Amino acid sequence: MKCTLVALIGLCCFWYTNAAHFTVTDQVFFDISIGDVKAGRIVIGLFGQDVPKTVDNFKTLATTGVSGKSYSGGDVISGNGLGSISKFGDSFPDENFKAKHGAAGFLSMANSGQDTNGSQFFITLIPTPWLDGKHVVFGKVIEGMEVLMTIGSTKTDNGDKPLKRVVIEKSGIVPLASTFQVSDDPHDWWSWVKAVSLPLSLSVSIIAILQYFNSQIKVSD
């Protein structure tokens, strides 16, 4: 029994020391509704030290927005998921690919190729290593993974559009007393426990897909 416990502790230490760690410098929140029913709040920690330009762009969109526009997955141009713009113009370059898509809950930039970052983003529902080196990861869900998983389990049509409207009713900054670190460790057991607390049928459907964050943000004039 003691040997097993020592081995388990050693394995956990190995996972921790081999995981990359990122400093959360800012936090934003999304208040989500699904089919006009409040689903809860998602709080995302942003990696401002590692990708400051990407974080600055996202914070601007999450707080100031574009007056008179609704966003579809970050699309502030056409509202249908095809348009994109940034704080710095039509697009801006990839900063780096330090953070990986190693687990559910990582916030990453959607793009149409190298150095085409704008306003569109997605949040992973499963580990997606094939996106590493192609999409810039710049944050991680700190609270509200159950809300994210509920979005991921929402039924969609053939075009992956949710049959119920998934709306970011409100977004903004969550005050941060001090910076803290998170890792890209896929063996984040607390997040795993929260995720598998969902009904098994939902968990199975989530494992099968990676959906872009098909949502709309209401921005007041």
pLDDT digits (tens, 9 = 90+) for 23-68: 999 999 999 999 989 999 999 999 999 999 999 999 998 887 654 4
Cα angle 220, 211, 40; round to 5: 50
Q: What is the average pLDDT score of the chain? A: 75
Q: Model pTM?
A: 0.73
**Residues above pLDDT 70, as percent of the chain:** 66
SS3 122: strand
Q: In this model, does residue 95 exceed pLDDT 80?
A: yes
At residue 183, the pLDDT reads 85
At residue 3, the pLDDT reads 52
More confident residue, 3 or 108: 108
Q: Flag the least confident range among 93-102, 105-114, 205-214.
A: 205-214
Element (H, E) at 24: strand 21-24
Q: In this model, does residue 15 exceed pLDDT 70?
A: no
- CA torsion 82-84-36-160 (nearest 10°) is 30
At residue 136, the pLDDT reads 97
Average pLDDT of the residues in 134-161: 92
At residue 188, the pLDDT reads 55
State the burial class of residue 135 (Cβ atoms within 10 Å of its Cβ: 0-12, 13-18, 19+).
buried
Give 17's pLDDT tier (boundaries 50, 70, 90): very low
At residue 5, the pLDDT reads 41
Q: List domains and CATH numbers for the chain.
A: 25-178+186-218 (2.40.100.10)
